[in-house]
Amino acid sequence: MPVTAKLSRKFYERFGDDITTELVDWFNAVDETYRNQLKEINELNWERFKAHLDARIAEVRADMKTELASLGKGLREEFQNKFAATDARITKLETGFQKELRRVHEDILKWMFIYWTGLFLALCGVGVGIATYLRH
């Protein structure tokens, strides 16, 4: 908001209206000139600050992209290693499970053979006993 210089009435009476008006106009012109120069300087400083800020933002974005890319690569490799280790553990467990299942199967066959052999011998004995009993 511009401020217009104004002098007291005594100043006008002492030096006259022409000189005093000229002095007031000169003060106002100087004030306007300084205000315009200050505005231009502020605009230039703002533009420089904006350019510097834009450059720094671009640098930070580039750094973040680089960091995120390397972090993503590192995470990807870490996940792949973890998945490979987990896959190896699952394969090992599966192999152990298959071996245990074969062992149980063999045990079941062995015990079934023993059971059926014993049952067959017992039935043969009962059959011999009944045949002997019926012959007498």
Residue predicted with more confidence, 83 or 76: 83
Whole-prediction pTM: 0.41
pLDDT at 76: 83
Q: Where are the alpha helices (DSSP H) in the chain?
A: 9-15, 17-135
Does the pLDDT value for residue 1 go beyond 70? no
Does the pLDDT value for residue 2 go beyond 80? no
pLDDT at 128: 94
What is the 3-class SS of 20-31, one letter each residue? HHHHHHHHHHHH
pLDDT at 86: 93
Residues 35-74: pLDDT tens digits?
999 999 999 999 999 999 999 999 999 999 988 888 777 7
| Cα 98 to Cα 62: distance, rounded to the nearest angstrom | 53
- How large is the C-alpha radius of gyration of the chain? 53
Residues 102-113: pLDDT tens digits?
999 999 999 999
How many angstroms separate the Cα of 42 from the Cα of each of 31, 38, 46, 47?
A: 16, 6, 6, 9
Share of the chain above pLDDT 70, in %: 95
